[in-house]
Amino acid sequence: MRRDLLVAGPGFVLGLCLAACTAGPSGTPTVAPTPVVVRVAATDMGESLARDLAEAYREVRPDVTILIVPATEPDAHVLIAAEIEPAGSGFRSPLGGVKLVPAMAAAAAPPTLSAAQLAAVLSGEVEDWAQVGGSPGPITVVTRESESEAERLITQRFGLGVAPPTARVAPGWAASRALISGTAGAIGVLPSPETDATLRVLSTSLSIMIGLEARAANEPTGVVRDWLAWAQSPAGQFVVAERHIPLAAP
């Protein structure tokens, strides 16, 4: 498994794969796997990838349940989150990537924006769509909570300033979708797997790729390591590529 080192929070523990003995048809004892639960913490950026990999792994290991828990869960076996720098102590292993995409309501007719114009819109420097070549109307920016990993990355990668005072704060991706699709002139940034038919994604040239990785205080062993190794294998990366960016992507 490819890995390098990164600081990870305390409290991550490693799971052990247990087995129970049962009798086969001939009476000879056979080893049957005991159900195992792996607690995987995920940030708002890593949650969709964690859930995709967890669901697909049930077909590979029916005896293993990958339980997705909040990023703050102290007893999680591993954390799935955006890649961060610089490297430090701890376990770190890449899993793939995801695109952050600006989006409006599906019925909207957004103007063609440059990266600089998009930043001006999201920062509140532009308050009416007519100022950037769109139909006249006020702009409503939808953001995530200021302390969330997603909002930190959006602000950093899109070169934004402080969110405008008129911004609508969404407590989750479902709330973001509802606010953007249900508010005239609204715009926001989401991971591409979190978009749906209620939204219109703006030009792909405005998208920004974020790497996603697994982290723990120490290198995982047993069933946790098996799951991560599978996630990096061709079979796991096929699952990643369905809605995310696989490791082999340029």
Q: Is the pLDDT of residue 54 over 50?
A: yes
Query: For residue 89, what pLDDT is reported?
Result: 76
C-alpha separations of 38 from 69, 82, 180, 224 in Å: 10, 20, 35, 7
Mean per-residue pLDDT over the chain, rounded: 87
Q: Over 50: is that where the pLDDT of 21 sits?
A: no
Tokens of 19: 């087995």
- pLDDT score, position 249: 60
Distance CA 78, CA 128 (A): 44
Could you tell me the fold of the domain covering 4-97+211-243?
D-Maltodextrin-Binding Protein; domain 2 (3.40.190)
Q: By the 8 A CB rule, do 129 and 72 touch?
A: no
CB contact at 8 A, 232 and 212: no
Is the pLDDT at 116 greater than 50? The verdict is yes
Higher pLDDT, 35 or 130: 130
Calpha distance 47→4 (Å, rounded): 22
Among 198-202, 235-239, 245-249, the minimum mean pLDDT is found in: 245-249
Per-residue model confidence (pLDDT) at position 192: 97
In the CATH hierarchy, which fold is given to the domain comprising 98-209?
A: D-Maltodextrin-Binding Protein; domain 2 (3.40.190)
Q: Is the per-residue pLDDT at 9 higher than 60?
A: no
Lowest mean pLDDT among 28-37, 48-57, 74-83, 201-210: 28-37
pLDDT at position 27 is 58
81 has a pLDDT exceeding 70: yes
Distance CA 169, CA 145 (A): 6
Q: What is the predicted pLDDT for the residue at 16? A: 31
pLDDT tens-place string over residues 135-169: 999 999 999 998 899 999 999 999 998 888 889 99
Under the banding of pLDDT at 50, 70 and 90, the label for residue 227 is: very high
Per-residue model confidence (pLDDT) at position 30:
60
Comma-separated ranges of CATH 3.40.190.10 domains in the chain = 4-97+211-243, 98-209
